[in-house]
Amino acid sequence: MGYVKGNMEKVEIMSPVGSYASLHAAIQGGADAVYFGVGNLNMRSRSAANFGVDDLREICRIAHAAGVRTYLTLNTIIYNHELAEMRALLEAARQAGVSAVIASDLAVITAARALGIEVHISTQCNVSNIEAVRFYAQWADVIVTARELPLEQVAEITRYIADTDLRGPGGDLVQIEVFAHGALCMSVSGRCYLSLDNAGFSANRGACLQLCRRGYIVKDKESDLELEIDNEYIMSPKDLCTIGFLDRILAAGVHVLKIEGRGRSADYVRTVTECYRQAVDAIAQGSYTPERIAEWTARLATVFNRGFWDGYYLGRRLGEWSDRYGSQATEQKVFLGPVKNYFHRIGVAEVHLQTAETLRVGDEVVVIGDTTGAFRTIVAELRLDRDPVPEVRQGDRFSFATSEPLRRGDKVYRIDKVTDEK
Q: Where residue 77 sits, what CATH number does that domain have?
A: 3.20.20.70
Q: Cα separation of 150 and 124, whole Å?
A: 17
How much is the average pLDDT of 312-341?
A: 89
Could you tell me if 166 and 134 are in contact, meaning their C-beta atoms sit under 8 angstroms apart? yes
The answer on 55 and 138 residing in a single domain is yes
How much is the average pLDDT of 344-370?
A: 98
Q: Whole-angstrom distance between the N-terminal and C-terminal Cα of the chain? A: 38
C-alpha distances out from residue 408 to 53, 327, 343, 370, Å:
26, 30, 10, 10
How much is the average pLDDT of 343-350?
A: 97
How much is the average pLDDT of 185-203?
A: 62
Convert the pLDDT of each residue in 73-95 to its tens digit. Answer: 999 889 999 999 999 999 999 99
300 is a domain residue: yes
The answer on 393 and 265 residing in a single domain is no
Please give the pLDDT value at position 321.
Answer: 74
Please give the pLDDT value at position 80.
Answer: 96
422 is a domain residue: no
- Spatial strand order of the sheet with 373-378 comes to 373-378, 364-369, 411-417, 331-343, 348-352, 397-401, 382-384, 387-389
Q: Cα separation of 26 and 199, whole Å?
A: 34
Please give the pLDDT value at position 422.
Answer: 47
The answer on 379 and 286 residing in a single domain is no
The answer on 174 and 45 residing in a single domain is yes
DSSP per position, 265-285: -HHHHHHHHHHHHHHHHHHHH
How much is the average pLDDT of 13-26?
A: 97
CATH of the domain at 388: 2.40.30.10
The answer on 289 and 407 residing in a single domain is no
221 is a domain residue: no
Kindly report the backbone phi and psi dihedral angles of residue 51, in degrees, each rounded to the nearest multiple of 5, phi listed first.
Answer: -105, 170
Q: Is the pLDDT of residue 149 over 70?
A: yes
322 is a domain residue: no
The answer on 335 and 265 residing in a single domain is no
The answer on 76 and 24 residing in a single domain is yes
Q: Is the pLDDT of residue 192 over 90?
A: no
Total domains in the fold of the chain: 2
DSSP per position, 48-98: SS-B-GGGHHHHHHHHHHTT-EEEEE--S---GGGHHHHHHHHHHHHHHT-
Instruction: Provide the 8-state DSSP code for 174.
Output: P
412 SS3 class: strand
Could you tell me if 347 and 401 are in contact, meaning their C-beta atoms sit under 8 angstroms apart? yes
Could you tell me if 270 and 29 are in contact, meaning their C-beta atoms sit under 8 angstroms apart? yes
Q: Is the pLDDT of residue 387 over 60?
A: yes
The answer on 149 and 60 residing in a single domain is yes
Question: For the chain, how many residues are written?
Answer: 422
Considering the entire predicted model, what is its pTM?
0.89
The answer on 145 and 41 residing in a single domain is yes
| Range of the structural domain that residue 398 is part of | 331-417
232 is a domain residue: no
218 is a domain residue: no
Q: Is the pLDDT of residue 381 over 90?
A: yes
Q: Is the pLDDT of residue 8 over 90?
A: no
- Longest Cα–Cα distance in the chain: 75
C-alpha distances out from residue 331 to 52, 99, 301, 338, 418, Å:
32, 35, 8, 21, 5
Please give the pLDDT value at position 209.
Answer: 62
Kindly report the backbone phi and psi dihedral angles of residue 45, in degrees, each rounded to the nearest multiple of 5, phi listed first.
Answer: -65, -30
How much is the average pLDDT of 57-68?
A: 98
Q: Cα separation of 204 and 44, whole Å?
A: 10
Give 157's contacts (C-beta < 8 A, 6+ positions apart): 129, 130, 133, 145, 176, 253
The answer on 153 and 49 residing in a single domain is yes
Please give the pLDDT value at position 5.
Answer: 43
The answer on 369 and 290 residing in a single domain is no
Positive or negative: CA dihedral 277, 282, 288, 291: negative
Convert the pLDDT of each residue in 90-123 to its tens digit. Answer: 999 999 999 999 999 999 999 999 999 999 999 9
The answer on 351 and 267 residing in a single domain is no
